[in-house]
């Protein structure tokens, strides 16, 4: 038994009881990457859906993505201004965060 009287929190993701210190440390590690914000200032995270706020011509694909196009399940790249995503017929699409709004 530890001499500390730690508070324990139930972690729904793992299904385990974790000490509050462990949860705080894990949350600090998760937020250690760059903070990515969309065109209106909302914080983006992996798996979010976004909507385009501007028509974008995709180089090499011969396509234009129109305003209002929904992009599902984005991934953060580690760069505060870029997000990695997929759209029909376009693989390896990287968009600037300033051209999207969180849905």
Q: Residue 88: what pLDDT?
A: 87
Q: For the full predicted model, state whether its pTM sits above 0.85.
A: no
Q: How far is CA 65 from CA 23, 41, 82, 89, 90, in A?
A: 40, 22, 17, 11, 11
* Number of compact structural domains in the chain: 2
CA distance linking residue 43 with residue 20, whole number of Å: 24
Same domain for 24 and 66: no
Does 44 map to a domain? no
Q: Comparing 18-32, 35-49, 77-91, which segment has the lowest mean pLDDT?
A: 18-32
Same domain for 59 and 28: no
Q: Residue 1: what pLDDT?
A: 44
Structural domain range at position 73: 50-102
Does 65 map to a domain? yes
- Which CATH number do you get for residue 68? 2.30.30.40
């Amino acid at each position: 038994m530890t001499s500390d009287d730690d508070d324990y929190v139930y972690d729904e993701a793992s299904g385990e009881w974790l000490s509050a210190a462990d949860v705080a440390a894990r949350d600090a590690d998760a937020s250690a990457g760059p903070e990515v914000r969309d065109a209106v200032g909302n914080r983006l995270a992996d798996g979010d859906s976004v909507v385009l706020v501007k028509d974008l011509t995709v180089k090499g694909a011969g396509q234009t993505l129109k305003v209002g196009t929904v992009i599902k399940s984005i991934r953060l790249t580690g760069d505060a201004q870029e997000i990695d995503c997929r759209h029909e017929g376009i693989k390896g699409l990287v968009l600037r965060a300033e051209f999207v709004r969180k849905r």
